[in-house]
Amino acid sequence: MKFRLRRYFLLTSLPVMVIITMLSVYGYIEFAKSILVEQESHANQQQTRLIGQLLWPRFQSHIMWSKNQGEISLRAAQAVEEIDKIVVDLFRGSNVIKAKLYNLDGVTVYSSQHSQIGADKSDNPGFMSASNGRVRSNLTWRNEFHAFEKIIMERDVVSSYLPLYDTRTREVIAVVELYSDVTNLVARIHHTRNQVIFGALTCFGLLLGLLYVLAVRADLLIRRQHDVLTDANVEISRLAYTDAVTQLPNRHRFDQALEEQIQHCRRHDEGFSLLYLDLDGFKDINDDHGHGAGDAILAEVGQRLKKAVRETDMVYRVGGDEFALMMPGANTPESVTQVAENLLARVAQPIEFGEQSHSVSTSIGIACYPRVATNAATLIELADAAMYRAKARGKNCYETAEI
């Protein structure tokens, strides 16, 4: 299968582009949210200092008193209403939508949602962090949320647990939890996210388009080089198995084909005949008229042999003036006698070369598989021996190998 650069380019670049875009968007969202939470935490710290100034030391006694009280007592305390007024006035118009106050035992001393007053949050990770002086914030999505004056729906909320310090001793005296509504900010983040996605896809699309054009050109170049290399390999293979003078298959191809034919006949219980031909008087023509005349005669004899046999028969030039013919299906001397006589007649016809006419004849040796031999070497040896007997008998005739 041919290599297709364009296909592999698309198969690799598109997933990479999608993955990079997704990672970029995810990274942006996480970074933006972390900045948002950090900013809200910082703002809530400022708000907590203000709360401390407003509530402490005025409500110090209430916080101390709360340690030994139950939920009912805490909710009914007069200080709740006073803290309510201070907190609501403080955060009116801001994005803080809920506030809670814990004593150091983790008891909810105050919550703008009064039903939560008295709840124990001592095992809450945020409370534990703030009671040790560390701010802890996180961003959550709320389907329903109890704000100061009403219930709001579908909100992004940053909740921050913040330590409340004594202004004199700088010791943690309570924990404040503030909830900030950041729905609009998160919506802006998502809007920017969409812009990031569009921008990233646009940039990647332009880059991909440019690279695709380059890949197409490279692919065409690779395909041309592949075609040239394929043609060169075909030509090399042809030259390796083709005789340059007669354009017939050469001795190397003959040896391969003979083995293949024997294997085929063994598998299918069939036979074939091998004819070995050697030109008579060719040496005199070569010596008297040169190699040009000799090559022309060899080429003409090769074409005459091809035309004299069936399409399924195979003609080879196996030596200087020697040819071989394999005839599948013909496994007795009688089945090739007429072919041998036809070959003798055709080869003996005059050959025109320049202004001169030359005549050669041929001697033929016939060996049948598996009648006289079952392997290539013996078959060639017997066919060659039969050919020399034909020459000894007077040339321009054929002889068959016998068992």
3-state secondary structure 230-266: HHHHHHHHHHHHECCCCCCECHHHHHHHHHHHHHHHH
Q: Which has more confidence, 226 or 256?
A: 256
Q: In total, how many domains does the chain have? A: 2
pLDDT of 3 > 60? The answer is no
Of 155, 172, 190, the one marking the end of a domain is 190
Structure confidence at residue 388 (pLDDT): 94
Helix axes 251-268, 183-241, angle to 10 degrees: 100
Tokens of 225: 């080089």
pLDDT of 2 > 60? The answer is no
Mean pLDDT of 1-22: 73
Mean pLDDT of 149-178: 89
Measured between alpha carbons, how far is 37 from 35 in angstroms, rounded to an integer?
5
Q: HSE on the CB side for 314, CA within 13 Å?
A: 20
Q: Which has more confidence, 53 or 362?
A: 362
Mean pLDDT of 165-175: 86
Share of the chain above pLDDT 90, in %: 49
If asked whether residues 259 and 135 sit together in one domain, one would say: no
User: Residue 142: beta bridge partners?
Assistant: 155
Domain presence at residue 34: yes
pLDDT of 268 > 90? The answer is yes
Structure confidence at residue 340 (pLDDT): 94
1 three-state secondary structure: coil
Measured between alpha carbons, how far is 396 from 359 in angstroms, rounded to an integer?
12
Domain presence at residue 217: no
Structure confidence at residue 203 (pLDDT): 81
Q: Which residue type, as a one-letter code, is found at position 319? A: G
Of the candidates 262, 255, 274, the one whose C-alpha atom is nearest the C-alpha of residue 383 is 274
Measured between alpha carbons, how far is 153 from 269 in angstroms, rounded to an integer?
90
Q: Which residue type, as a one-letter code, is found at position 79? A: A
Average pLDDT across the chain, whole number: 88
Q: Based on the number of CB atoms within 10 Å of its own CB, is 27 exposed (0-12), middle (13-18) or buried (19 or more)?
A: exposed
Print the domain residue range for 117.
5-190
Q: Where are the alpha helices (DSSP H) in 117-272?
A: 125-131, 183-241, 251-268
If asked whether residues 265 and 354 sit together in one domain, one would say: yes
- Which residues 6+ apart lie within 8 Å of 143 measured at CB? 153, 154
- pLDDT-derived band at 4 (thresholds 50, 70, 90) equals low
pLDDT of 259 > 80? The answer is yes
Whether the link from the prior residue into 249 is cis, omega within 30° of 0, is no
- pLDDT-wise least confident of 123-127, 145-149, 380-384, 393-397: 145-149
User: Residue 398: beta bridge partners?
Assistant: 364
pLDDT of 65 > 80? The answer is yes
pLDDT of 227 > 60? The answer is yes
Tokens of 94: 């801001």
Residue 66 gets which letter from DSSP?
G
Structure confidence at residue 260 (pLDDT): 95
Q: Which has more confidence, 172 or 167?
A: 172
Mean pLDDT of 363-374: 94
Q: Which has more confidence, 354 or 176?
A: 176
Q: What's the CATH number where 137 sits?
A: 3.30.450.20
> Which residue in this structure is represented by tokens 């006694």?
61
If asked whether residues 256 and 185 sit together in one domain, one would say: no
Domain presence at residue 341: yes
Per the document, the length of the chain is: 403
- pLDDT-derived band at 292 (thresholds 50, 70, 90) equals confident
Tens of pLDDT, residue by residue over 228-242, are: 887 877 777 777 889
pLDDT of 321 > 60? The answer is yes
Structure confidence at residue 104 (pLDDT): 93
- pLDDT-derived band at 384 (thresholds 50, 70, 90) equals very high
Q: b or e along 216-239 (b: 16 or more beta carbons within 10 Å of the residue's beta carbon)?
A: eeebeebeeeeeeeeeeeeeeeee
Residue 166 gets which letter from DSSP?
P
Tens of pLDDT, residue by residue over 98-136, are: 999 999 999 999 999 999 999 999 999 999 999 999 999
Domain presence at residue 166: yes
If asked whether residues 183 and 255 sit together in one domain, one would say: no
Q: What's the CATH number where 389 sits?
A: 3.30.70.270
If asked whether residues 21 and 143 sit together in one domain, one would say: yes
Mean pLDDT of 146-161: 89
pLDDT of 154 > 60? The answer is yes
Domain presence at residue 228: no
If asked whether residues 173 and 39 sit together in one domain, one would say: yes
Domain presence at residue 229: no
If asked whether residues 145 and 264 sit together in one domain, one would say: no
30 three-state secondary structure: helix
Catalytic residue among 156, 243, 321, 384: 321
Structure confidence at residue 161 (pLDDT): 93
- pLDDT-wise least confident of 56-60, 361-365, 383-387: 56-60
Of 167, 190, 213, the one marking the end of a domain is 190
Domain presence at residue 232: no
If asked whether residues 47 and 186 sit together in one domain, one would say: yes
If asked whether residues 269 and 169 sit together in one domain, one would say: no
Q: b or e along 369-398 (b: 16 or more beta carbons within 10 Å of the residue's beta carbon)?
A: bbbbbeebeebbebbbebbebbbeeeebbb
Q: Is 280 a catalytic residue?
A: no
Of 141, 162, 190, the one marking the end of a domain is 190
If asked whether residues 181 and 305 sit together in one domain, one would say: no
Structure confidence at residue 5 (pLDDT): 67
CB atoms within 10 A of CB 105: 13
Domain presence at residue 239: no
Measured between alpha carbons, how far is 60 from 270 in angstroms, rounded to an integer?
115
